[in-house]
Amino acid sequence: MIRDARTGPAPRHHYLNAGHGLASWFLTQDHKRIAWLYFVSITGFFFLGGLAATLIRLELITPNGDLLSSDAYNRLFSLHGIVMVWFFLIPSIPTTFGNFLLPLMVGARDLAFPRLNLLSWYVYIIGGLFTLIAAVAGGIDTGWTFYTPYSTLFANGAVLAAATGVFIVGFSSILTGINFIVTVHTMRAPGLTWFRLPLFVWAQYATSLVMVLATPVLSVTLVLLAVERVFGVGIFDPSLGGDPVLFEHLFWFYSHPAVYIMILPAMGVVSEVVSCFAHKRIFGYRVMAFSILAIALFGFLVWGHHMFVSGQSIYAGVAFSLLSFLVSVPSAIKIFNWLATLYKGRVRFDAPMLFAMSFLGLFLIGGLTGVFVATLALDVQMHDTYFVVAHFHYIMVGGAVSAYMAALHFWWPKITGRLYPEMWARVSAITVFAGFNLTFFPQYILGWAGMPRRYHAYVEDFQLLNVFSSAGASMLAVGYLLPLIYLLWSLRYGAHASANPWNARGLEWTVPSPPPEENFERPPRVEHEAYAYDTDA
């Protein structure tokens, strides 16, 4: 290290101090800085969606609609769903940790198309602005699914503005997916064969395939919705000769694979964390890699299980029910392999591991209850009840957000070069887990008893469970606010992190924390299998 007699050791050059001023960030082509742009953006959307959820739970403490009118409640839960699904859950892990880590994990200096990567963020922001304008200009009352003919004929809010925002942000997903696919195919370090790739890279690769193949279907669907709403062309509206079930087919052909856009990256994160904190190779690595691809494939074949009561053919319902059972097989394989990895491992329960264990428990509950709604006879009773709300949130929030928090804590020292207070991180993980179950498990019981979703008033018999759910939401809010506080604190006051504070494996842990602007001084060469924890003393 160069030393100056007057100032002491010269600061190390890294990506965070490679340029100063807003222009150096907003015009950057460094994948690591673009990951930060996404991180700040999606954090804002996360707390906006969380604020809407908090108001929803406040409204539901009492049976009567005494805080919000029915129209205001419709607009609030629609805003919550649209923001959290389209602007947080779908882009969360790929655009932040995928952007930051994928080149490092494959030994590349950057993604294949740096300018395209920056463009994807600007497209994301433009789409988000359209949706915020819709919220300010009158709100959206269709729910996050924009179901027709409601969204084309009856809705009075700014449906077109919100749909335009979602349409635009879809192009951001496509650009990101193309970038990741090309990077994995063409920029791997010497010796990094396909079956030496970390499972996080496999998950990002499979997710990118889904993004590129499925998102155009959503884009076409939203264009057709706009054409019908503006020009009165009969596409989905039955009064004009259209078919509303067609909209559901097109929408869910994208939106069920979108579930795996949210959950596959989370599975990649959990694989990295479990292996590191068990200090063992992943059990059945190749089976895990192929199960990731199998989940992505099956995601395109099960969209009809959202439509059992919508009037589709009973024979189609039977086929989609069977396929829905089959899609649980590769997910069950992953659960088994993670547990087998933990068996006889030297397990450490640091904060990333606690969040990863939360993922395992919550995702398992959500997956098992998915079997209920995949069963034709049971779905007739539970469709559009709070049982479906609970199932969805156990998978998406309990699963995807828990994994996102695990990734945030696991790679935070690498990203920032700073350590966070471990005790507060563990408090956050435990609070989130307890608050989540108190929020959403009562909703399974409510749905089983017949409480419909999307109603701001309900019969008094359901009040006690709704009070429990709202109390849990308060705990959940505290659990999510804590990391915002201590991670910001760590940026200034946290201890400096070493290159590999967790004693983990992978190319990203071979460079300093935070990484240099160019990632690697010279192209690395990979000589070991992934997760080679048995090569150390």
Beta strand 8-9 pairing with 3-4: antiparallel
Give the pair of three-digit tokens for residue 379. Answer: 């779905």
Rounded Cα gap, residues 31 and 334, in angstroms:
30
Sign of CA dihedral 526, 528, 532, 537: negative
What sections of 396-456 are H helices per DSSP? Answer: 402-416, 422-449
Query: How far from the centroid of its chain's Cα atoms is residue 40's Cα?
Result: 15
Q: Which amino acid is at 77?
A: F
Q: Count CA atoms closer than 13 A to 457's CA, side-chain side.
A: 9
Beta-strand (E) ranges in 116-262?
none
Helices (runs of H) and strands (runs of E) counted in the chain: 17, 2
Q: For residue 10, what pLDDT is reported?
A: 45
At 308, the amino acid letter reads F
Which DSSP helix (H) or strand (E) runs through 282? none
Spatial distance between the Cα atoms of 379 and 129, rounded to a whole number of angstroms: 37
- With beta carbons less than 8 A apart as the criterion, state whether 434 and 377 touch: no
Query: Tokens 């059972």 identify what position?
Result: 325
From residue 115, give the alpha-carbon distance in Å to each of 27, 50, 112, 121, 349.
Answer: 9, 32, 9, 10, 40
Distance of CA 170 to the CA centre of its chain: 15
Dihedral through CA 60, CA 57, CA 373, CA 253, nearest 10? 120
pTM of the model: 0.94
- For 362-408, the DSSP string reads HHHHHHHHHHHHTSHHHHHHHTTBHHHHHHHHHHIIIIIIHHHHHHH
Residue 146 is predicted with a pLDDT of 87
From residue 84, how far is each of 308, 319, 362, 400, 421 by CA, in Å? 25, 31, 18, 12, 28
| Stretches in the chain below the pLDDT threshold 50 | 1-10, 537
Side chain identity at 267, as an amino acid letter?
M
- Tell me which residue of 443, 425, 430, 415 sits closest to 484, measured CA to CA: 425
Which two tokens mark 138?
């009158």
Which among 340, 338, 357 is positioned nearest to 349, based on CA atoms?
A: 357
Q: Of 267, 274, 289, whose CA–CA distance to 340 is shortest?
A: 274
Spatial separation of the C-alpha atoms in residues 265 and 100, rounded to whole Å: 13
Instruction: Please name which of 363, 407, 371 lies closest in space to residue 387, comparing C-alpha atoms.
Output: 371
**Which residue reads 């842990």 in tokens?**
509
> For the residues of 455-502, what is the DSSP string, one character each?
-S---GGGHHHHHHHHHHHHHHHHHHHHHHHHHHHHHHHSPBP-S-TT
Summarised one tens digit per residue, pLDDT across range 511-522 is: 999 999 999 988
Question: Is-contact 78 137, C-beta < 8 A?
Answer: no
Do 74 and 35 touch, CB atoms closer than 8 A?
A: no
Identify the burial level of 520 via C-beta atoms within 10 angstroms of its C-beta, where 0-12 means exposed, 13-18 middle and 19 or more buried.
Answer: middle
Q: What percent of the chain has pLDDT over 70?
A: 97
- pLDDT value of position 147: 86
Query: Encoding tokens for residue 92?
Result: 């969360």
- Of the candidates 99, 10, 104, 110, the residue with the CA atom closest to the CA atom of residue 513: 104
The pLDDT of residue 226: 87
Produce one character per residue of 379-398: b if its CB has 16 or more CB atoms within 10 Å, e if not.
beebbebbbbbbbbbbbbbb
pLDDT score, position 429 = 97
Burial class (CB in 10 A: 0-12, 13-18, 19+), 528: exposed
Q: What are the respective helix, strand and coil percentages of the chain, to the nearest 5?
A: 70, 0, 30
Buried b (16+ CB within 10 A) or exposed e, 270-289: bbbbbbbbbbbbbbbbebbb
For residue 487 the two structure tokens come to: 């991670």
